[in-house]
Amino acid sequence: MAALIDTAYAKTNRKRQPRASKSANRQLPKIDKIVGARSYIDAFDKLGIVSVTTLDGQIIHVNDEFMRISKYSRDELVGQTHRIVNSGFHRRAFFKGMHEKISKGEPWRAPIKNRARDGSFYWVDALVVPLKDRRGKNTAYLSFQFEITKAVETHIELQERTATLQGVMESFPGGISVFDRNLRLILCNDKVKNLVGYPDDLFSNGLPTFEQIVRSNAKRGEYGPGDIEALVAERMQRAAQAVPHQLERRRPNGTYLEIRGTPLTGGGFVTTYVDITERKKDQDTIARLAHHDALTGLPNRVLFQDRIRHALARVRRGDTLALHCLDLDRFKSVNDTLGHPVGDALLKAVAGRLQNVVRESDTVARLGGDEFAIIQVGPQSPADIEAVAKRVIAALAQPFKLGENIISIGTSIGITIAPDDGDNADQLMKNADLALYRTKSAGRGAFGYFEQELQSRQAQRHEIATGLQEALETDGFELHYQPTVNVQTRRVVGCEALIRWSHPQRGLVPASEFIPIAEEAGLINKIGDWVLKRACRDAKRWPENVWVAVNISAAQLRGHDLVDKVSDALGDMPASRLMLEITESLLVQDKETAKTVMDRLRAIGVRFALDDFGTGFSSLSYLQVFPFDKIKIDRSFMAPIGDQKRSAALRRAIVQLGHTLEMTTVAEGVETEEQFAQLANEGCVEAQGYLFSRPVPEIVVSNFFERKL
């Protein structure tokens, strides 16, 4: 074994030493002369690899197993040092430590990597024992070795795999831990310690068991409140079941972890931990956006209906609820005059006031636009319901100060009560809308309850809307015409087209009964288009000096394609023969759009008449802004009821205004010769009424063109 000592002081190399000469071999001590050597050799020869060296490291004996594994012959080995099998793997300190120990007469043991004659490597578990004489002095060294090449290679491979696995675990984006079949932790990365907040003392005695980890978590409140032993037992039972599982845990510090447990085939399991705090925040944001109004933060229609369904579950157990549906008065004019940013600010301010006048158990929601609703849970009496409605009306009646703007609005409320008015969310919402519609029709700034007759009316309106749709598809409408005459000549100068619905059961239905329903049902544009085309088609058969008047709805005037539709309906008929009649209320809704569309139509020759003049509150401003050709004096100024002297004075003022502005004045509702004579004396240019003709089919009105009426 002195060769091992020599290696510690020599430069590591793989050169072979020259063979010792026979004379050198003869000078080596004989084995039998070394005390105890033969007995050791005989004892270990058949058990493993044996060699004996002198104190200066020369080999004096090797057994057959040494020669087999080193692939050297006895002659090649005897007289050499153990440097002949040195692999260069071990550092100097390794052999220095060995030398220090055996030189003191102590045995030394360690695994050694050697190199065979053919260049291959092998590992041995070496025990070096000093041989001593009777005085205790070292005389030689005996080395007994077991080959452990496969075991060492397996161990190295295992170490490499473990290092690779640990590298994989450390590169995992979250925490990961591996438990064996006995629920002992055998691997984990640093991230799991940080994510779960394991205390340092948990790993002070090596890797902890699963139970130790669970108990530590329970004590630190990771599983929430509860009996610690019960919390530990629950998780130990789950681990023993060895089934895949996934859960989310909210840690005491507010972070969220997604934890997945996956059983291993041979027992044990792998647990992964991923921080999903940001994902949970995103999910919460998405859920809030899905169920709350982005502008006001109130519950939206989806969440509102869900809250109604939950409240109805209480109603089925004997409770009550009231549903208040409301919209804002004059909100559209705020948007139109002050702009959408101010309108949005107003909606947010309204939301704040509504929340301040209800209880925490009630729900305020924005359903869309300026529509809001309130679920009042468990009202004890009608007085409780009305108290909420009155507080809402009073709160929204107070002016809103938004920047430099002071805005006054109001609200109307429709109320429905469960279970009397309905036992499901859709029915209650529908009935509340009906109550709101009736309340607004009767006057704003009030509240009203749903009544069963409203439902019957709604059913009738639905039936009418369905019939109107069918009439559009089957050409079920007719046009009747009421002539307008020149006051001086009493000859027809034009005809107003008035639509009639040819109902299969009710006969001819006048427009006043179905046009409002058509507007609600979204059919007014289609009906208006039909009237425009049919009126122009009929007028083409009339004398060229007779014009046709068509009433235009607000929906048509707001449409960007009205100019194209008029051009298409006119065809080759001069545009000057088409008179479009517009009411003052229509102009109030959208002045800018109306002005733009009217200017474009006026540019192609179409003429305009302001209908029902004198019934609005800003007629003069309309005459100044909009390009009207005619002023139609409302029939109320011709009625015999009231102060006839005052009516005559107003008529004369309007006629004079028309002359001044170079606009033709037309008096509506003329029924007697006396009225006609008065109009002639007052200077009115044209007249229309039952004195001349009621509205009649086109085939009849054609007979009026060649005679006086």
Q: How many residues are recorded in the chain? A: 709
Please identify, among 125, 147, 169, the residue that sits at the C-terminal boundary of a domain: 147
Q: What is the pLDDT of residue 135?
A: 82
Q: For the ranges 164-173, 198-207, 473-482, 543-552, which has the lowest average pLDDT?
A: 164-173
531-548: pLDDT as tens digits: 999 999 999 999 999 999
Q: Do 393 and 443 touch, CB atoms closer than 8 A?
A: no
The gap from C-alpha 181 to its chain's centroid, in whole angstroms, comes to 43
Percent of the chain at pLDDT above 90? 26
- Whole-number mean pLDDT of the chain? 83
689's CB contacts (< 8 A; 6+ apart) are 635, 638, 667, 668, 669, 670, 671, 675
Query: What pLDDT does 45 receive?
Result: 77
344 found inside a domain: yes
Contact by Cβ (8 Å): 158, 184: no
Instruction: Tell me the pLDDT tens digit for each residue of 65-83.
Output: 999 999 999 999 999 998 8
Residue 627 within any structural domain of the chain: yes
Q: Can you tell me which residue has the tokens 């859709």?
A: 426
Judgement on whether residues 497 and 556 belong to the same structural domain of the protein:
yes
Q: Once rounded to an integer, what is the mean pLDDT over residues 446-461?
A: 68
446-453: average pLDDT: 77
- The number of folded domains in the chain is 4
Q: Do residue 77 and residue 128 come from a single domain?
A: yes
CATH code assigned at 88:
3.30.450.20
Judgement on whether residues 384 and 434 belong to the same structural domain of the protein = yes
pLDDT tens-place string over residues 663-681: 999 999 999 999 999 899 9
pTM: 0.45
Reply yes or no on whether the pLDDT at 17 is more than 50. no
User: Average pLDDT in the 621-629 region?
Assistant: 79
Does 313 lie in the same domain as 259? no
Confidence label for 656 from pLDDT (cuts 50, 70 and 90): confident
Q: Would residue 456 count as lying in a domain? A: no
- As a whole number of angstroms, the distance between CA 224 and CA 476 comes to 72
Instruction: Mark whether 235 and 262 lie in a shared domain.
Output: yes
Per-residue pLDDT of 274-328, as tens digits, reads: 888 888 776 766 666 677 888 888 998 888 888 888 888 888 888 888 999 998 9
CATH assignment of the domain containing 373:
3.30.70.270
pLDDT surpasses 70 at 170 = no
469 closest CA partner among 430, 523, 508 = 523
pLDDT of residue 7: 35
Going by pLDDT thresholds of 50, 70 and 90, the confidence category of residue 14 is: very low
What is the per-residue pLDDT for 435?
A: 85
Residue 24 lies in a domain: yes
What pLDDT is attached to residue 427? 85
Predicted confidence band of residue 456 (pLDDT cuts 50, 70, 90): low
pLDDT at position 169 is: 57
389 plus 491 within the same structural domain: no
Residue 698 phi, psi (nearest 5) = -60, -35
Q: What is the pLDDT of residue 239?
A: 83
Mean pLDDT, to the nearest integer, of 435-451? 80
DSSP state of 690: T
Domain presence at residue 285: no
Is there a single domain that holds both residue 587 and residue 648? yes
Q: Which residue would you say has higher pLDDT here, 60 or 509?
A: 60
Query: Would residue 503 count as lying in a domain?
Result: yes
Q: Are residues 349 and 246 in the same domain?
A: no
> Quick one: which of 339, 334, 519, 320 has its CA closest to 408?
334
Q: Is the residue at 543 inside a domain? A: yes
275 with 299, same domain: the answer is no
Task: Convert the pLDDT of each residue in 560-600 to its tens digit.
Answer: 789 999 999 999 999 999 999 988 766 666 677 788 888 99
- By DSSP bridging, strand 400-402 and strand 607-613 are unpaired
Q: What pLDDT does residue 10 have?
A: 36
pLDDT bin (cut points 50, 70, 90) of residue 421 is confident
Q: Span 340-366, mean pLDDT?
A: 91
pLDDT band at 480 (very low <50, low <70, confident <90, very high): very high
Query: What is the per-residue pLDDT for 532?
Result: 93
Q: What is the CA radius of gyration of the chain?
A: 53
Q: 504 and 575 share a domain?
A: yes
pLDDT computed for residue 6 by the predictor: 34
User: Does 425 share its domain with 564?
Assistant: no
Which of these three, 252, 280, 308, is where a domain ends?
280
The more confident residue out of 167 and 549 is 549
> The CATH number of the domain where 534 resides is what?
3.20.20.450
Please check the confidence at residue 213 and state whether its pLDDT lies above 70: yes
Residue 309 CB coordination number (10 Å): 11
Which of 41-45, 139-143, 336-340 has the least mean pLDDT?
41-45
Residue 616 pLDDT > 70: no
Give the domain extent around 440.
Answer: 292-450
Model confidence band, residue 506 (pLDDT cutoffs 50, 70, 90) = confident
- Residue 614 falls within a domain, yes or no? yes
CA geometry: angle 85, 87, 93, nearest 5 deg: 110
Q: Of 280, 306, 334, which residue sits at a domain end?
A: 280
Q: Nearest 5°: phi and psi at 580?
A: -100, 125
Task: Output the pLDDT for position 405.
Answer: 87
pLDDT for residue 93: 86
pLDDT digits (tens, 9 = 90+) for 244-273: 888 888 888 888 888 888 888 778 888 888
Same domain, 97 and 173: no
- Whether residue 15 is predicted with pLDDT greater than 50 in this model: the reply is no
